[in-house]
Amino acid sequence: MTRTKYVEELNRLLNNVRIMGVNLEDTLDQVIVNLQDRNPDVAQKIIADDDIFDNKELEIERTCIDLVLTQTPVATDWREIASCLKLVGDLERIADHCSDISQYTLRLLEREFVPMPESFKEMLEVMRSMVYDSITAISENDVELAQRVIATDDKVDKLFHELRQELTELMQRNPQHVPQYVDYLMIAKYVERIADHSTNIAEWVLYVVKNELQP
């Protein structure tokens, strides 16, 4: 493989990662909206579509391995290829958690309706912004945006702990609704994990652009 062809393949690889990210944004929006709408068909589709992200991860991983085997990469190439492997892993895990949340949405459908705590909505919005910003940082190699995502992770952790305390108090006051509040708590845990994966993505953007690995 010539160097020109190699660069073309590397750029195609990076573009596939970006496309995977954009598709994930759409899935995440469906998940968040469906926590309110509770449409079982939407939830089932999100769960089924997780296989698409699994397959895309495998495809990108194979491309990375092929690029390493067909030509000796220079240092910058190594960083981009290694980061692609890590990035798609985090993107795929976010897709997994979208599926996990949708399974809990289906569980909530089987129970008496209990409204989502208002504080939960703030946590969802902050997490959504982190995912969008981290994916934009991939597309634009935006260091400042990546750093903002990393800095926001502590806010999600704080919101999770506050929500957990609120849900615990709600369970004590409304023991008949404990199953619903437990479901909300589990969804919140997945939201926190999605934020963590967004932080990982942002850290790998810094590695590609600045050759900096976060401690």
Model confidence pLDDT, tens digit, residues 130-173: 999 999 999 898 999 999 999 999 999 999 999 999 999 999 99
8/114 Cα distance (integer angstroms)? 52
Q: Where are the beta strands (DSSP E) in 47-165?
A: none
Q: What percentage of the chain exceeds 90 in pLDDT?
A: 75
> Is 60 within a domain?
yes
Question: Where in the sequence is the domain holding 132, given as residue range(s)?
Answer: 3-210
Among 64, 181, 214, residue whose Cα is nearest residue 111: 181
- By mean pLDDT, which of 30-34, 153-157, 208-212 is the weakest? 208-212
> Is 8 within a domain?
yes
Domain at 120, CATH number = 1.20.58.220
> Is 165 within a domain?
yes
Q: Tokens in use for 112?
A: 């008496």
Among 35, 72, 49, 18, residue whose Cα is nearest residue 208: 18
pLDDT tens per residue across span 76-123: 677 788 888 899 999 999 999 999 999 999 999 999 999 999 889 999
pLDDT tens per residue across span 39-87: 999 999 999 999 999 999 999 999 988 888 877 666 667 778 888 889 9
pLDDT of residue 212: 56
Rg (CA), the chain: 19
> Is 215 within a domain?
no
152/168 Cα distance (integer angstroms)? 25
Among 96, 124, 133, residue whose Cα is nearest residue 184: 124
112: helix, strand or coil: coil
